[in-house]
A and B are shown apart, each in its own frame.
Chain A
């Protein structure tokens, strides 16, 4: 049986009168690639800062590797790698100097742990004499990840590592995370991009400081519970309101260039007829498998009710 590597119990944190975390409970197993999915301001960064011992919670407990994040923060800092959302390396130091510095202050050496970062660092090694401030966004992330890994941490906390990074670099980044997980690291990653959820072992959907659901991406989609349709028509500007006005529509929203409708009944014929009556033409309508974003929006709606 696997014990929980990270255990969060009834965690609360507020800033003045804004509640950032509201009763968070969570267990994360050793070796998991765990995603926190939620919009900006959902409380992801606050949670990461508490876990990395940079902030003290108002109430509740959190422990990592059996160590309390408040009482044993010194031990924890030796065992975690943290990558803040904002690029926090020294921009006036070169790539190599940054890596050596962070290895040095952890009492580690690049040579001993090179195998850990080899795949990642080898991509930026040609630029090792360049000041880190002059790297591209994707390369900065790779360097930051290298610096977070150089002391051989057991848990990796990555706060929005792919925000503001181009699509190709994002893909590469996730591929690297998969590899690291295979090496046995527990990885916590937060992201506002819903499409990245499916790349995690398990995800927590987080909104306004509360966790709405925790599950594997597949089971989250399997538990969606309602037929989901994607509709397009000749009058896209009216489509959303017309779809919402139908009695059998539970919820409707724009999704890319189509409109998604979460329906009470799976009856496309009736739906197309109803839309024809409202003057829509060229109606394309298909039942689709929900994405994590659909799950998120449905959960948000049910929460509000």
Chain B
């Protein structure tokens, strides 16, 4: 025990003495939380739309007014021809074109079919499908209205009406969804990079030589290396939760103790991976790139930005090895749904197994002799 104390004392001294790293460790994650939570959003507001109205009738004007009245769309311009409209899209001045064919009102009046065309700039696929969905729903609402006006008898017969309620995030606030995920991201970055750089740094400076020749046991050394970053990362999670509450008004619905408990197991996984990287590499540069490789894959596949369910099946299987995915789910469940231990137990045990495996490999890979 006393040996571990001496190692811990040394590690903390080194961390708190580093005038460059300390602010990075403490301030950077908070800044990231504040910035990313505001910017990582898929909410669509102010989609720019241009109208090409070849009909110029009361009906077409009514349709256009539905678009201009919607908060999702801002009407940029009226264009006279299709070519002019495409020009606007190419130049990036508008996102969507609504083209109303000539004789729309007349055709409708005769009970014939009439059409409008929507053209969407789909370079950003997910944004485009959202724009389309919004626009289509406006058109179909308008259609129902038309039917009701022109043929009142038909409408009075029964039809299905959908009433939508959004649970756990009633106002579909993106921050509510993103903040728990970004919190996970931050503790992951801190844990993996700091632990990944640490042992390899001693290798690069040659100090490991002097450590190895002492009677320090492997597990003592590992605990001495892991514990400081484990404490720092948990501390940052707590500060992050406070920021979530005060700045974004997101309180933890479930038990904070459960959240911290799972976080502490999760951190063992992350730190174990970091330490493993550190023991198999010889320079900080190698360690940096390997850690980066895993972090990018883990995060992009984690469901932080895109839902795991829409990934191909093989990717979902690979994801069962992704600790970040587990913890993002756990974190969202506890923070937003107020889930208890029974709800998350499967993920929790997966993390426990993962932690044991990673730490065992890391400790056994660390050799005190060459």
Contacts and interface: CB of A to CB of B under 8 A. Distances in A.
A107 interface: yes
B215 interface: yes
A84 B206 contact: yes
A88 B207 contact: yes
Nearest to A79: B215
A104 B213 contact: no
Interface stretch (A47-55, A169-177, A218-226): A47-55
Interface in A137-191: 147
A82 B207 CA distance: 12
A102 interface: yes
B179 to A, nearest CB: 36
Interface string B8-19: 011001100110
Nearest to A131: B17
A87 interface: yes
B212 interface: yes
Contact of A106 (B10, B206, B215, B369): B215
Interface in A185-228: none
A103 to B, nearest CB: 9
Nearest to A53: B369
A90 B208 CA distance: 10
Contacts of B3: 104-105, 107
Contacts of B2: 104, 107
Contacts of A53: 213, 369
B215 A102 contact: no
Nearest to B217: A74
Interface string A51-83: 011111000000000000000011001101010
B130 to A, nearest CB: 52
Contact of A102 (B5, B209, B214): B214
Interface residues on B, range: 20 to 34
Of the listed residues A74, A92, A100, the one surrounded by the most CB atoms of chain B closer than 10 A to its CB is A92
Contacts of A52: 213
Contacts, number: 75
A73 B218 CA distance: 13
Given A49-B370, A88-B207, A102-B210, A93 B215 contact: no
Contact of B14 (A55, A78, A86, A92): A92
A111 B17 CA distance: 26
Most chain B Cβ neighbours within 10 Å, of A52, A100, A104: A104
A89 B214 contact: no
B205 interface: yes
A291 interface: no
B209 A54 contact: yes
A93 B10 contact: yes
B370 A90 contact: no
A100 B212 CA distance: 17
A127 interface: no
Contact of A89 (B9, B207, B212, B370): B207
A14 interface: no
A86 B2 CA distance: 28
B174 to A, nearest CB: 43
B119 interface: no
B12 to A, nearest CB: 11
A80 B212 CA distance: 12
B231 interface: no
Nearest to B211: A105
A27 interface: no
A22 interface: no
A84 B209 contact: yes
A101 interface: yes
A106 B207 contact: no
A101 B10 contact: yes
Given A82-B210, A92-B14, A54 B370 contact: yes
Contact of A104 (B6, B212, B368, B369): B6
Contact of A80 (B5, B213, B216): B213
Contacts of A90: 10, 14, 207
Contacts of A78: 215
B241 to A, nearest CB: 32
A92 B208 CA distance: 15
Contact of B215 (A84, A87, A89, A105): A105
B26 interface: no
A105 B18 contact: no
Contacts of B215: 74, 77-78, 105-107
B108 interface: no
B203 to A, nearest CB: 11
B206 A91 contact: no
Interface in B179-233: 205-216
Given A55-B369, A93-B10, A105 B206 contact: no
A172 to B, nearest CB: 22
A102 B216 CA distance: 10
A97 interface: yes
A91 B205 CA distance: 9
Contacts of B5: 104
Interface of B: 2-3, 5-7, 9-10, 13-14, 17-18, 205-216, 368-370
29 contacts: A52-B213, A54-B212, A54-B213, A54-B369, A55-B369, A73-B369, A82-B213, A86-B206, A86-B209, A88-B205, A88-B207, A88-B208, A89-B210, A90-B14, A91-B205, A92-B13, A92-B14, A93-B10, A93-B14, A93-B17, A100-B6, A101-B9, A104-B5, A105-B7, A105-B214, A105-B215, A105-B216, A106-B214, A107-B215
Interface of A: 49, 52-56, 73-74, 77-78, 80, 82, 84, 86-93, 97, 100-102, 104-107, 147
